[in-house]
Amino acid sequence: MQKLHRLAREESGAELVEFALTSLVLIGLVFAVFNWMVGMYTYHFTTYAAQQATRFAIVRGYTWSKNTTVGCNTSAPPNFTMPYNCTVSATDIQNYVQSLAGPWIVPSGLTIDTTSSDVWPGQTPDGTTSPCSPNANSKGCLVKVTVSYNYTFLPLLKLSGQEMRATSEKAIQQ
C-alpha cells in the first residue's frame, strides 16, 4: 500500500505530458499565423495585379501603334511576352495578370474581368461626340480591371475560401 501511495505522489513523466500539450498549441499557432500571412499576401497580390493590369492597358491604347500586322501574337503565362508595338486586348490583359502570379497564387485560379467604359457617355462636356463611342480603346476612355482570387484559409480541411477582390480604373493615355 505504501508503494502505491508513493507512486501516485511521484511526478516523473509530467514534464513530458506538459511539453506535448504545449507543443501542440504552439505548432497550431505558428501554422495559423503563417496561413494568415499567406492570406494577406493574396490580398496584396490581387490589389497589385489590378493596378498593374490597368497600367498595362492604358499605355497601350488605340494610338499606341498603327502596326496591327502579323507579329502581335502574345505568349501565354508564365512566359508572357508581348511585342512592343502592339495594342492591347482583353486576352492580353488576362495573360499579363496570370504571368504576375508568384508563389502561393495559382494562375488558373485568378479571375480577371476587363471592361471599358466611357469617360463621357455619348458626348463630351463641350458637346462633341465622345471618343469612346466608336472605339472603347481610344484616348480618354476608362479601362476597368477587376482581379479576384478565392483563397482557402485552411486548405487541409477543405473549408470554403475567402474571395480576395480588387478593382482598378484608369483613363487611356495613348
Q: Strand runs (DSSP E) across the chain, as ranges?
A: 110-117, 142-151, 162-171
Least Cα distance to 93 among 111, 105, 109, 69 occurs for 111
Q: How would you list the strands of the sheet with 162-171, edge to edge?
A: 110-117, 142-151, 162-171
Backbone dihedral angles phi then psi of residue 16, each to the nearest 5 degrees = -65, -40
* Grid cell in block for residue 119: 469617360
pLDDT 10s digits, 82-126: 666 666 777 888 888 888 888 888 888 899 988 766 555 555 556
Asked if pLDDT for residue 68 goes beyond 60, the answer is no
**Model-level pTM greater than 0.95?**
no
Least Cα distance to 137 among 66, 57, 73, 55 occurs for 57
Distance CA 64, CA 43 (A): 32
Distance CA 22, CA 30 (A): 12
Would you list the domain boundaries of the chain? 15-171
